[in-house]
A and B are shown apart, each in its own frame.
Chain A
Amino acid sequence: MSTDFQFGTDEWVAQEEARRREAEAAGRLGFRLRRAWDRIDPRLRLLAGLALAALVPFVVHNDYHLRVAGFTGLFISLSLGLNVVAGFAGLLDLGYVAFYGIGAYSYALLASPHFHQHWPFWLVLPLVVLISALFGLVLGSPSLRLRGDYLAIVTLGFGQIAGILFLNMDRVNLPFLHLDRPLNITGGPNGIINVDDIRVLGYTFDNVTRYYYLILIFTALILIAIYHLDRSRIGRAWRAIREDELAAQTMGVDVRRLKLLAFSVGAGVAGATGVVFAAWQGAVFPPNFDVTVLIILYSMVVLGGVGTVWGAVSGGVILSILPELLRNPEMARFIFYGALVLGILFAFRRRKLSGLALLGGVILWGLAVKALLTWLRPAWLTQPQIPASIAQSFYAPLIKALNWWMVHPLNSQGVGNIAFAVALGLLLVAYRFKARFQYALWVPALYALTFVWETRLVQEPSITRMLIFGALLVLMMNYRPQGLFGQRRVQRQ
Chain B
Amino acid sequence: MEAILKQLPQQLVNGITLGSVYALIALGYSMVYGILQLLNFAHGEVYMIGAFIGWGVFALLAPQETLLLPAPVLILLMLVLAMLGCGLLGVVIEWFAYRPLRDAPRIAPLISALGVSFFLQNAVLLTMTARYRTYRTGLLIPRTWQVSAFGATISMTKILVIVVALVLMVGLRYLVQRTRLGKAMRATAQDREAAAMMGIDVDRIIVVTFFIGSALGGAAGVLVGLLFTQVYHFMGFTAGLKGFTAAVFGGIGNIPGAMLGGLLLGIIESIGSGFISPTYKDLIAFALLILVLIFRPNGLLGAKVPQKV
Give residues in A with beta carbon < 8 Å to B.
86, 90, 92, 94, 142, 145-150, 152-154, 156-158, 160-161, 164-165, 168, 246, 291, 295, 298-299, 302, 306, 417, 420-421, 424, 428, 431-432, 456-457, 460, 463-464, 466-467, 469-474, 477-478, 481
Contact = CB atoms under 8 A, between A and B. Distances in A.
A411 B14 CA distance: 44
A350 B268 CA distance: 61
Interface stretch (B92-100, B176-184, B194-202): B92-100
B260 interface: no
Contacts of A291: 237
13 contacts: A147-B307, A149-B106, A150-B297, A152-B39, A154-B290, A157-B286, A161-B286, A161-B287, A164-B286, A295-B114, A295-B115, A477-B109, A477-B115
- The interface centre, meaning the residue of B97, B114, B125, B237 with most chain A CB atoms within 10 A of its CB, is B114
Interface stretch (B147-155, B165-173, B277-285): B277-285
A291 to B, nearest CB: 7
Interface in B121-170: 121-123, 125-127
A428 B92 contact: yes
Interface string B272-309: 00000001101100110110011001000000000101
Nearest to A465: B122
Contact of B290 (A142, A165, A481): A142
Contacts of B114: 94, 295, 298, 473
A377 B104 CA distance: 50
Contacts of A246: 307, 309
Contacts of B237: 291
A417 B39 CA distance: 30
Contacts of B290: 142, 154, 157-158, 161
Nearest to B95: A432
B81 interface: no
Nearest to A157: B286
Interface of B: 37-39, 92, 95-97, 100-101, 104-112, 114-123, 125-127, 237-238, 241, 244-245, 248, 279-280, 282-283, 286-287, 289-290, 293-294, 297, 307, 309
A150 B293 contact: yes
A474 B107 contact: no
A contacts with B: majority SS: helix
A478 B108 CA distance: 8
Contacts of B97: 474, 477-478
A94 B115 CA distance: 13
B123 A467 contact: yes
B289 A153 contact: yes
Given A466-B122, A467-B122, A298 B111 contact: yes
B63 to A, nearest CB: 17
A431 B107 contact: no
A92 B107 contact: yes
A428 B120 CA distance: 14
A478 B122 contact: no
Contact of B104 (A432, A460, A481): A481
Contacts of A424: 123
A259 B117 CA distance: 28
Given A160-B286, A470-B118, A477-B112, 19 more contacts: A92-B111, A146-B294, A147-B307, A148-B106, A157-B241, A157-B290, A160-B241, A164-B279, A417-B126, A420-B123, A464-B126, A467-B119, A470-B115, A470-B121, A473-B112, A477-B97, A477-B104, A478-B97, A481-B105
Contact of A474 (B116, B280, B287): B116
B79 to A, nearest CB: 22
Contact of B297 (A146, A295, A463): A146
Contact of A471 (B104, B115, B309): B115
A13 B155 CA distance: 69
A188 to B, nearest CB: 10
Contacts of A295: 114-115, 118
Contact of A150 (B118, B248, B279): B248
Given A146-B293, A473-B115, A161 B244 contact: no
Nearest to A302: B111
B110 A149 contact: yes
A466 B245 CA distance: 26
A160 B112 CA distance: 20
A158 B307 CA distance: 25
A469 B289 CA distance: 28
Contacts of B294: 142, 145-146, 154
B54 to A, nearest CB: 17
A156 B112 contact: no
Residue among A90, A460, A478 with the most chain B CB within 10 A?
A: A478
A113 B40 CA distance: 44
A312 to B, nearest CB: 15
| 6 interchain residue pairs of minimum CB distance | A473-B115, A470-B119, A470-B118, A157-B286, A466-B122, A477-B112
A90 B108 CA distance: 11
A463 B125 contact: yes
B248 A474 contact: no
A201 B126 CA distance: 49
A121 to B, nearest CB: 32
A92 B110 contact: yes
Nearest to A470: B119
A470 B116 contact: yes
